[in-house]
Amino acid sequence: MRFDWAEETLTQLNLPSFHFAVQKSEIECLLRLFNSLVKRNGQRLDKNGLDHGAFRGILHNVFGMTDDVLLDRVFFAFDKDCDNRINANEWVKGLSVFLRGTFEEKLKFCFEVYYLDGDGSISREVVFDMLKHSLHQHLSEEESGEGIKELVEITMKKMDYDNDGKISFTDFERAVKGDPLLLEVFGPCLPTAQVQLQVPTA
C-alpha cells in the first residue's frame, strides 16, 4: 500500500526537472522517508505534509543544523508554494539539492535562503540581521553592535560588487565563484560533508 503511494507520487512529480544524478530509486527512498516522517508526526499525508516545527526537528536531528534563524529560512526556501507545509514534491526537490545538488543548485538555494522575502537581493539590514549573533557573547552590547556593523561593512565590501548597498544574485554568484567558502557566508544552511555522505546510505 505504502509502496503504491510512492509509485503514484513518483509519477506525479515532474521528473525531468531533477538533476539526473538523483536516481529513481533514491527518489523512492526519499518518498518513503517522507511518508514515515509525516506518519510519525501524526498527520495525514494526503495534502498537508510536514509543518514548520516538524521540518525544523528533521533539520536539527538528521542534518545537525542548529541555527534558529537559518532553520526558519531554510524552511521557507523549501516551501515553494508558501503554504507553511512541505509537501512531497517540495521535500524531494529540496533534498535533492541538499544531498546531490550541483554547485549551481546549491548556490541558488543558499541565495534563496538568505534573501528570503526580499526583492531578489540581500539588503544590508538583512545581512546585519543574519550576522548579529556571530560574535561571542563576552563582548558588551555596545561593543558587539559596533563589531557587527563593521563585520557587515567588511562583508558588503567583499560581496557587493556593484556598490548598490545590497547583494544581488549576480554579486553573490561572483563572490562565491571567486571563493567557494563564501557559499554559506551568512550561516550554515546546507548539511555538512559528513552528513551528506551518511544520509543516502542510511
Partner 1 sequence: MGVTLTRSLQWTASGHGTRTLEATPLNDGILEEIILFVDTFLYEHPREAKFVFVEPLGWKTSLEPSAFGAGYVISEKTVTSEEVDKNGEPLLVLSGPHIRIRSFGQLSRLLHIAKDTKLRETRACLEANRDPVVKILGLDYNTTKGEDFSALSILGERSNDNDSEPERPMTVARLLRQLDVHLLNHALRHVSSEMPLNPSAIKNDIELLKHHAGKGEQAVLESIEYTSDYEFSNGCRAPPWRQIYGEICYVLVRPHGAEALCITCSTQGVFLNGGKTDDEREINYERKGKIYKDLVTLLREKSPTFAENMATQENKHNEEQQKQKSPPDEVPNKEAAAARAAPAKSALEKNQINFSRGTARRLQPSLNWRKPPDSKEHRSSVKDTLEEKHGAKLERPRASLSTGKAHRKSTDKIEEIISESSSESEEDEEPPDHRQEANADLPSEYWQIQKLVKYLKGGNQTATVIALCSMRDFNLAQETCQLAIRDVGGLEVLINLLDTDEVKCKIGSLKILKEISHNPQIRRNIVDLGGLPIMVNILDSSNKNLKCLAAETIANVAKFRRARQAVRKHGGITKLVALLDCGQISLEPPQPSLYETRDVEVARCGAQALWSCSKSYSNKEAIRKAGGIPLLARLMKTSHEDMLIPVVGTLQECASEENYRAAIRAERIIENLVKNLNSENEQLQEHCAMAIYQCAEDEETRDLVRLHGGLKPLASLLTKTDNKMRLAAVTGAIWKCSISKENVTKFREYKAIETLVGLLTDQPEEVLVNVVGALGECCQEYENRILVRKCGGIQPLVNLLVGINQALLVNVTKAVGACAVEPESMMIIDRLDGVRLLWSLLKNPHPDVKASAAWALCPCIENAKDAGEMVRSFVGGLELVVNLLKSDNKEVLASVCAAITNIAKDQENLAVITDHGVVPLLSKLANTNNDKLRRHLAEAISRCCMWGRNRVAFGEHKAVAPLVRYLKSEDTNVHRATAQALYQLSEDADNCITMHENGAVKLLLDMVGSPDQDLQEAAAGCISNIRRLALATEKARYI
Distances (CA, A) of 88 to 79, 82, 155, 162, 191: 11, 14, 36, 39, 20
Q: Identify the residue among 131, 167, 168, 191 touching partner 1 (CB under 8 A).
A: 131
Q: Does 145 bind partner 1 (CB under 8 A)?
A: no
Q: Which helix (H) or strand (E) holds 86?
A: strand 85-86
- Give the pairing of strands 166-168 and 85-86: unpaired
Q: Given the rule CB under 8 A, which of 29-37, 74-82, 83-91, 154-162 is the region that contacts partner 1? A: 154-162
Q: Does 139 bind partner 1 (CB under 8 A)?
A: yes
Q: Does 57 bind partner 1 (CB under 8 A)?
A: no
Q: Identify the residue among 118, 120, 179, 198 touching partner 1 (CB under 8 A).
A: 179
Q: Which helix (H) or strand (E) holds 122?
A: strand 121-123
Distances (CA, A) of 78 to 71, 122, 175: 11, 18, 24
Count the residues of the shown chain that bind partner 1, applying the rule CB under 8 A: 33
Q: Does 157 bind partner 1 (CB under 8 A)?
A: yes
Q: Does 154 bind partner 1 (CB under 8 A)?
A: yes
166 forms bridges with which residues in the sheet? 123
Nearer to partner 1, 78 or 114 (CB): 114
| Distance of alpha carbon 71 from alpha carbon 91, whole angstroms | 15
Residues at the site binding partner 1, with contacts judged by CB under 8 A: 21, 100, 102-103, 106, 130-131, 133-136, 138-139, 147, 150-151, 154-155, 157-158, 179-188, 192-193, 196
